[in-house]
Amino acid sequence: MNKTTKRNLFIGFAVLVLFGVLGITSCMKKDKNIDPANKAFSWPEIDFSYDTSSLKIGEDIEFKAETKEGSSEIVKWEWTFSDASDVVTGEHPAYTYTKPGSYKVSLTGTDAAGITDQVSKDLTIMRNDTGILIKVMSTVLQPPGRKDYAQFYKNLADIINNYEPDFVVLRQADNNTGRNGKILATEEIGNATGMRPLFAKQQDYSGGGYGTGVLSRFPVLDARVELLPPAGSGETKSVGIQTVQLDDKGHKLVFAGTELDVNNADNRITQVNEMLDHVGKVDLPIIAAGGFYNDEEVIEALKAEGFELGCSQSDGCPYDNPVTDPTKTYQNIFYQPADDFLFLKTYVLPEDNYLNSLAVIAEFRYYPPLD
């Protein structure tokens, strides 16, 4: 064997030894269980836990940072919460959510060498039991055949007392007309049910007025009537607006009852936008109900202003017209802001003593913003 061959063999052997050492070293660095006390071969490995019993709005959630076995020593903890822009530092912070929903929590741990590790978890924050149950009813204030108004009003008051809605819209309401026997219908039903009445007259009719009635079981702080002109030819409609106090903590809500033009889609769009101009002037939660005729353009106009439709997304809005074997939805109920409400259900009442539509009730829970 000559010297050149010996030299080449030596170099090759040296290279193999070098790569072998590097490979062993590499394996040692990747083995997270190797010599935890030797900081040269450890790095940050973190986790965190939290109190699962307090995952509700308004309650402090205690978070606890943790290091895994073999981790390097963490010198800085940083928490980020998806609903906040500020970074929270420390090992054991407490955090409170003000709205229900899904949120991401991320924790970053940094060791003395500046090496970091991060872990993220998704939390579902639930509503607590502070919500206020609200039931909204919409119906037609015309008896079958437009006969025997007085008895019809008594029957309707009994139905309202039976189902106990908090708000009622009385569509197609006569008030002190020759046709209804000069009865102040909205006021009379309000007195019979213990609810606060508001008559929103849209036009003079038969010696009295014709329009929409609105009833509230909550104390009324302010009440007003606004007219909703058509886009062109057609009836001017009206909206009755009540601002109410929901509880002794001073939480307020605006309720609006109306009926749009049944015959003209352009008029409905004009009228709903006019209604939005009126109810949108207050920075309060709003429920709007009445004859919206399930018009897609009307619904989109309301959604564009933050309203949600109070119907099941899977089952759709219940049919309320005609009375026998209904196939259409004439009455809709909306609410906003959506995050402050929990929609429960919408249903029609079995009573069929209505001329144009069955009565509809929607149920919600309203969650006032936390103080």
Q: Give the pLDDT band (50/70/90) at residue 40.
A: low
Checking if the pLDDT of 9 tops 80, the result is no
Q: Are residues 117 and 225 in the same domain?
A: no
**Domain edge (last residue) among 125, 147, 168:** 125
Residues 6+ apart with CB under 8 A from 346: 310, 311, 312, 317, 318, 333, 360, 361, 362, 363
Q: What are the residue ranges of helices labelled H in the chain?
A: 3-30, 149-163, 185-193, 265-279, 296-304
Q: Are residues 357 and 242 in the same domain?
A: yes
341 within a domain of the structure (yes/no) = yes
pLDDT tens figures, 276-333: 999 976 789 999 999 999 999 999 999 999 999 999 766 789 999 998 889 999 999 9
120 within a domain of the structure (yes/no) = yes
Number of domains in the chain: 2
Q: Are residues 210 and 284 in the same domain?
A: yes
Range(s) of the domain holding residue 173? 132-366
Q: Measure CA of the first residue to CA of the last residue in the chain; give whole Å.
A: 92
Weakest-pLDDT range from 96-105, 173-182, 226-235: 96-105
Q: Are residues 139 and 61 in the same domain?
A: no
Q: Are residues 118 and 154 in the same domain?
A: no
If 0-12 CB within 10 Å is exposed, 13-18 middle and 19+ buried, where does residue 361 land? buried
Global pTM value: 0.71
Q: Are residues 140 and 241 in the same domain?
A: yes
If 0-12 CB within 10 Å is exposed, 13-18 middle and 19+ buried, where does residue 85 land? exposed
CATH number at residue 138: 3.60.10.10
pLDDT tens figures, 139-161: 999 998 888 999 999 999 999 99
* pLDDT of the residue at 141: 94
**Domain edge (last residue) among 91, 125, 159:** 125
What is the helix (H) or strand (E) element at residue 282, kind and residue range?
A: none
* pLDDT of the residue at 18: 40
The angle at the Cα of 337, spanning 213 to 241, to the nearest 5 degrees, equals: 20
Mean pLDDT score of the chain: 87
Contact yes or no for 246/368 (Cβ under 8 A) = yes
* pLDDT of the residue at 238: 98
33 within a domain of the structure (yes/no) = no
3 within a domain of the structure (yes/no) = no
Checking if the pLDDT of 354 tops 50, the result is yes
The angle at the Cα of 367, spanning 52 to 312, to the nearest 5 degrees, equals: 95
* pLDDT of the residue at 294: 94
Q: Are residues 75 and 185 in the same domain?
A: no
Q: Are residues 146 and 63 in the same domain?
A: no
Region 52-70: mean pLDDT is 92
pLDDT tens figures, 251-270: 999 999 999 999 999 999 99
* pLDDT of the residue at 15: 39
350 within a domain of the structure (yes/no) = yes
71 within a domain of the structure (yes/no) = yes
Q: Are residues 94 and 167 in the same domain?
A: no
Region 169-188: mean pLDDT is 97
DSSP 87: P
Q: Are residues 214 and 344 in the same domain?
A: yes
2 within a domain of the structure (yes/no) = no
pLDDT tens figures, 205-227: 999 999 999 999 999 999 999 99
7 within a domain of the structure (yes/no) = no
**Domain edge (last residue) among 102, 125, 148:** 125
CATH number at residue 91: 2.60.40.10
pLDDT tens figures, 102-125: 899 999 999 999 999 999 999 988
Q: Give the pLDDT band (50/70/90) at residue 23.
A: very low
* Size of the chain, expressed as the number of residues it contains: 371
Q: Give the pLDDT band (50/70/90) at residue 13.
A: very low
Checking if the pLDDT of 127 tops 80, the result is no
Weakest-pLDDT range from 121-130, 165-174, 214-223: 121-130
* pLDDT of the residue at 26: 33
Nearest Cα neighbor of 279 from 306, 299, 261, 300 is 306
